Structures are given as C-alpha cells and as structure tokens.
Amino acid sequence: MIEEEMLAPKGLGTSRLRETIEEVLLAEPKYRQNYYPGDEATRAYKRKYSFSDRSCCYWPNPQITAA
C-alpha cells in the first residue's frame, strides 16, 4: 500500500503485488479454500485481511515472485 501511495500519484508503475496475490489465490484455491468460508464479499475481505493469511503458501508462485 505504501508503494501505491508513493509511486502511483507520480505516474510511476507499481508491482501490483496485492492484485497479483489476489489473482493467484483465485486461480489456485488449493491452499486457501478451507480457510475462507462465507459469501464472495466475505471471502474477498478474508483473503485480504484475515489472520488465517494463506498467501504465504503462494510466495513461490512465479507470478508473485515476479511482482
């Protein structure tokens, strides 16, 4: 979020890390599907802010590594 706040207003590109993590989490649900119950709005919120953060399982993913 700091990157987006500092670079985007200056017209500089960002890594899009948060968006990339979300894309990968949605495309590959194997590590997260049992941790985020509820409707889609609730699941989206939990993917972003949950204490059961499963994104750590996805860090080796090439898309995330590139971001």
Q: Residue 52: its pLDDT value, please?
A: 66
Domain count, the chain: 1
CATH number for position 20 = 1.10.400.20
Residue 31 in 3-state DSSP? Answer: helix
The pLDDT of residue 54 is above 80: no
Q: What is the pLDDT of residues 5-41, one digit of tens each?
A: 999 899 999 999 889 988 998 998 888 888 888 899 9
Angle (nearest 5°) at CA 14 between 2 and 64:
95
Residue from 39, 42, 44 nearest 22 by CA? 44
User: Residue 26 is part of which domain span?
Assistant: 2-66
What is the pTM (predicted TM-score) of this model?
0.76
